[in-house]
Chain A
């Protein structure tokens, strides 16, 4: 006889699942900070700062991958424009970081340097309030969410789906990229926002600040994972999968696909905004290049490599692809595009269920 299934929050995983989550959390949130801060620099076990920042970046990518898995893997909508939401979150945080530079910039003005350069006399209205961290964080979640909601509302209402939806999301990120490239838009144009000094009073160049941001990213990833897991295992998650597999049937059964899709889509955008807000202080720059259509497509391949609709596979995929990128761009820069291109082809042709699927098959065999 099986034991009574656990209820509520604990039901998200079985015992072994929870154990895996706990171990991953311990490694990411405790082991890495100890190796970086407590282990002396001379020790071979010491984790250098740049690796902490790199891992922090990967964690943010992991959040993005989860967001895309939610909308693509579980709901069947491939977005080629998630880079926009990521970048918008990043820009909101970048605005806060920009204003917290204060008068320490090159021009010693309270205005951000690029505004002095453009000969602006005062902050534009949409920059007001961004000197407050909580306002900026809120904006990092709300702005991508609002954009996604408006865009999704019109798109899903007119029942645009499949590749059409993918293509217009690509147009969306392309249009916004062009918009942000303009100096007059008020976000630093081509150069974007950079040269940040401190966040909430902490020096961004201090190792302790880096580790702090890294731990925050790890916690955010854990939170996002549990949230997505909760949604996917809930009744709503089943409706999402029903929509993915047979939208018309789900409709005939009496569900309204539009509102479910809109929910998943908007939430996905909000999570990307969160990832962007955590990403920017760790890499120290945000510019319109993040909105390039190519970036958004690459985000999709993280999920495809990891394995769709598995959530933990998406995180794994983000880590694997970006790890490969870091390795190849340093070791064999010319080979990287070949690797990436072949990854795209191989995953779609030969491993449609990705790394997670391969792991699952291994487990079943043994």
Chain B
């Protein structure tokens, strides 16, 4: 019985052993022909950063897209390896999966994180890019091509291979652009032409100096670029770059000019009301803006302290609050000081300057001499990129829109309301208006209040664009007067034209002449302009001109 059992076992073994051998040999063969990629990647399971980066470079050179998931995981810091040097990816939930196959896996022994320092990161980004270049999706390839930057010498051949196989025209341009630095110094004219063609299509200004170098002459009088047709391509590339830069500059300048212009309009609108309509020189006008800006600071702090959940909407409260606070200060000023000085413009000028000193010092005492920060609400931070290098920030867009709204508000107030009618009547003929039963003193007070309130609105806009400090208003007072004088006193339309004109001219001049010289040039221009047309762009005609 035992014998039989033995013999049975022997038979069984005789059957099974070859199987085991077969399996073992198969397994051995598999190890011998082990996946070359996993061999490349095995270096990742290390604490030595140079080993890790060597592995990254190897994997990248192989060009197998399967390595992407492991490399992405390394980039995101989710790659781990266990005691068996088995590479695993840890998900957010803590579950592990195999780095290559993606199959769920368990760790054997302690989990460790591969080395990750600057050296690794430097190796990682081009490796990821070159691997993504072989991804099946054109969008992924395009993104990868853009992220390539200037490929290093080891990667250039890979990119060349990818480019030869690439069918998508957009990806092709992006790839040629990435190769351009290498191609431009290539011996083959065709390579150089291809690079220049790509530069021309992309109009990429980063290559401008390189292309210009091709067109320059070396000391012996020969062109750096010997081939005439390559030079022609280079010239085409340069003109494309210049056209694009002109476009970018003019779009950028127009945008910044518009936003500066709207700030100037906001500053000057209130002044146009007090100076233009009432003939009162208010040197404290800038301080009304400063008060508006500080009001938005106070409102912001109130929201932070009491309504942190609605912090994003503090601006909506700050706008009416600033209008009312600045307006109230304006009314107070009018009732206490300015009322007694009507008809004495030079005295008004000095008295309001005194008021501005008082206001500045008061704010300094309350809030300190340092600038305070008024943060943009989250929906105003950031911007939209309409062209490369041209970002329209939301805060500036909002200021432009805001100034349009304020202009409409002032227009409606002046043209469509009873108060506006009375203001215009008093402006045209004070004595006659009084005879018609209009209380000119009351109208004066309200006009001044509105003018100051509008300045406060300008202050809210300024608080969204820059620092808020006690001297905020001083920087704008000269500009605002220039806008009003340029536009013509007593004309709101003139103020708008003057503000936009000054803003645009300022921003167009800045790159040509520099910020300071541009400003000096504009002030000089205004001084000359007033000589020629003392009444401004929109001159009052007829009798109205004589009265004022």
Contact = CB atoms under 8 A, between A and B. Distances in A.
- Are the chains A and B members of one assembly? yes
A345 B355 contact: yes
A14 B260 CA distance: 60
Contacts of A68: none
A344 interface: yes
Interface in A164-195: 164, 166-168, 170-172, 174-175, 178-179, 181-182
Contact of A171 (B281, B283, B358, B482): B482
Interface in B345-376: 345-351, 353-358, 360-361, 364-365
Contact of A167 (B361, B481, B520, B528): B481
Contacts of B346: 72, 78, 162-163, 166
Contacts of A347: 350
A174 B478 contact: yes
Range of interface residues on chain A? 35 or more
Contacts of A297: 283, 350, 353
A338 B527 contact: no
Contacts of B357: 337-338, 340-341, 344
Interface stretch (B87-95, B116-124, B239-247, B529-537): B529-537
B340 interface: yes
Contacts of A253: none
A160 B345 contact: no
A338 B528 CA distance: 37
The main secondary structure of chain B at its interface with chain A is helix
B28 interface: no
A287 to B, nearest CB: 16
Contacts of A151: 527
A172 B524 CA distance: 8
A155 B365 CA distance: 41
Contacts of B283: 297
Contacts of B182: none
B85 interface: no
A128 interface: no
B349 A171 contact: no
A157 B341 CA distance: 29
A344 B530 contact: no
Interface in B315-357: 337, 340-341, 344-351, 353-357
Given A163-B345, A345-B337, A337 B534 contact: no
A158 interface: yes
A348 B358 contact: no
B534 A348 contact: no
Contacts of A341: 354-358, 361
Contacts of A337: 357-358, 360-361, 364
Interface string A129-170: 000000000000000000000010011011110111011101
Given A78-B349, A163-B345, A337-B357, A178 B520 contact: yes
Given A178-B520, A181-B516, A172 B527 contact: yes
Contacts of A1: none
Interface string B186-225: 0000000000000000000000000000000000000000
Interface string A89-109: 000000000000000000000
Contacts of B345: 162-163
Contacts of A293: 477-478
Contact of A166 (B344, B349, B527): B349
A171 B478 contact: yes
Given A172-B527, A348-B341, A163 B349 contact: yes
A334 B365 contact: yes
B350 A300 contact: yes
Contacts of A157: 531
A170 B481 contact: yes
B523 interface: yes
A175 B337 CA distance: 31
A82 to B, nearest CB: 14
B485 interface: yes
Interface in A315-366: 334, 337-338, 340-345, 347-349, 352
Most buried by B among A80, A167, A174, A181: A167
Contacts of B356: 341
Contacts of B532: 158
Contact of B516 (A162, A179, A343): A179
A291 interface: no
Nearest to A338: B361
Contacts of A304: 350
Given A175-B523, A337-B360, A349-B351, A164 B516 contact: no
A155 B531 contact: yes
A301 interface: yes
Nearest to A334: B365
A293 B348 CA distance: 17
Contacts of A340: 354, 357
B503 to A, nearest CB: 17
A338 B358 contact: yes
Nearest to B485: A167
Given A338-B357, A345-B355, A347-B350, 17 more contacts: A157-B531, A158-B531, A164-B530, A170-B478, A174-B478, A178-B520, A294-B474, A297-B283, A337-B360, A337-B361, A337-B364, A341-B361, A344-B354, A345-B354, A349-B337, A349-B340, A349-B341
Interface of B: 281, 283, 337, 340-341, 344-351, 353-358, 360-361, 364-365, 474, 477-478, 481-482, 485, 516-517, 519-520, 523-524, 526-528, 530-532, 534
The 10 closest A-B pairs by CB, nearest first: A344-B354, A341-B357, A337-B361, A341-B358, A175-B523, A348-B351, A341-B354, A345-B354, A348-B347, A158-B531
24 contacts: A78-B349, A160-B534, A162-B346, A163-B346, A171-B478, A171-B523, A172-B523, A175-B519, A179-B516, A293-B477, A297-B283, A301-B350, A334-B361, A338-B361, A342-B358, A344-B355, A345-B351, A345-B355, A347-B350, A348-B344, A348-B347, A348-B348, A348-B350, A352-B347
